[in-house]
Amino acid sequence: MTESLPKVLLVNGVTMLLAYARAIEIEAAERYLELAEQMDVHNSPELANLFRKMAAAEQMHLSKVDNLVGTLKLPEILPWQYKWDTPEALETTAYDAIHYQMTPRCALQLALANEERAVAFFNEVVAQSSDSEARRIASELAAEEYLHVEIVRSWLDRFHESDFKEDLDNPVSQ
């Protein structure tokens, strides 16, 4: 399920970048709200609160991106290229459990992996785009998503309980 990101090669210009950025922010906001509901169920109000804040942060990014989009017409993109991924390490234990028994640590690991994926995506654009404006926007987005990585990581440190038999300290091995 965890794809390396060859498709990033296709993201060169500003409109393609913005199309992905919008999709990534919308997806992240939706998934965070979903995780927040799971944490309500799990009776973890602190974490539910964190995820609602993260959803709000992603929505703020979205309006920022929408301002950049303005009247530009965005190209079509493919869902599998921006939908949240379940890291392989979490897949067997957690993927089917998303709607049933997502534990706090598992939820945080899922969020972390996908925030890291977003950072990697935007960094690839910075590294590979020939369009300087696209590179500039992508590097800003990468920096913002990296803040999310740090937030989620710091919360993960608070949830030490081992939900899984395997060591999942490094769920993303891209």
In the complex, the residues that contact Zn ion under the rule CB under 5 A are 28, 115, 145, 148
Measured from the CB atom, the residue of 94 and 113 that comes closer to Zn ion is: 113
**Min separation Cβ 58 and Zn ion, Å:** 5
**Min separation Cβ 163 and Zn ion, Å:** 23
Buried residues in 79-89 as b, exposed as e (16+ CB within 10 A): eebbebbbbeb
**Min separation Cβ 149 and Zn ion, Å:** 8
Residue type, 22: R
The rounded distance, in Å, linking the Cα atoms of 127 and 27 is 24
Measured from the CB atom, the residue of 131 and 151 that comes closer to Zn ion is: 151
**Min separation Cβ 73 and Zn ion, Å:** 26
The rounded distance, in Å, linking the Cα atoms of 144 and 28 is 13
Measured from the CB atom, the residue of 60 and 162 that comes closer to Zn ion is: 60
Residues 6+ away with beta carbon under 8 Å from 61: 21, 25, 141, 144
- Two structure tokens written together for 123: 């960094």
- Two structure tokens written together for 30: 């939706």
SS3 17: helix
Measured from the CB atom, the residue of 30 and 131 that comes closer to Zn ion is: 30
